[in-house]
Amino acid sequence: MSRSFERDIDTAWGRMRLVAFHDLPTRATHLALVAGKPRADAETLVRVHEPLSIIDLLDAGPGPHSWSVGEALSAIAKAGAGVIVMMNCHETPAALDARLVETRPLRQGRSVDLRTYGIGAQILRELGVGRMRLMAAPRKMPSMAGFGLEVTGYVESPER
């Protein structure tokens, strides 16, 4: 995993730092939007959004994720600091077709892709995150201690 690009951008939720990471084995590019300056010793509001679909960026209504991209960015802006990592999972045409009609929440018991957790964890550490409050439905997940990360809690999904 290597940081490949970085610049400040103006979003609908304020000025944020856009950071791109290149995943060497899969050649995927993952994006992070950072508000404020994450510190390892301070709790950071975090959303790891995967798999990211173009639909997630366009649809502001209820969708299959516990938090939409817009809801997460709004919460981060309101908090004054935080990180959203948008995982590029190479959306196939068939997957995009399925997302066009899917609006129900993702299954809570879906299988865990340990590699995705590891990539997200590497990105968060590279950005300076240590202690984090996740914008996600509570779930059993692998320990993040090996990456120097601590999950301090979860933020309830917004009312829709």
Residue 25: the pLDDT is 85
Catalytic residue among 17, 115, 125, 160: 115
Contact 40, 83 (CB under 8 A): no
Residue 9 · residue 16 · CB < 8 Å: yes
DSSP 3-state of 33: strand
Spot the catalytic one: 39, 113, 139, 160: 113
39 classed as catalytic: no
Our answer to whether residue 7 is catalytic in this structure is no
The pLDDT, as a whole number, for residue 99 is 65
pLDDT for 107: 44
pLDDT of 4:
93
pLDDT value at position 108?
45
Q: CB of 129 within 8 A of CB of 83?
A: yes
10-residue stretch averages of pLDDT, the chain, 160 residues long: 94 95 88 94 92 64 74 93 87 69 53 71 96 89 85 84
Distances (CA, A) of 57 to 29, 61, 74, 93, 127: 16, 11, 13, 17, 22
Q: How high is the pLDDT of residue 64?
A: 63
Chain-centroid distance, C-alpha 61 = 18
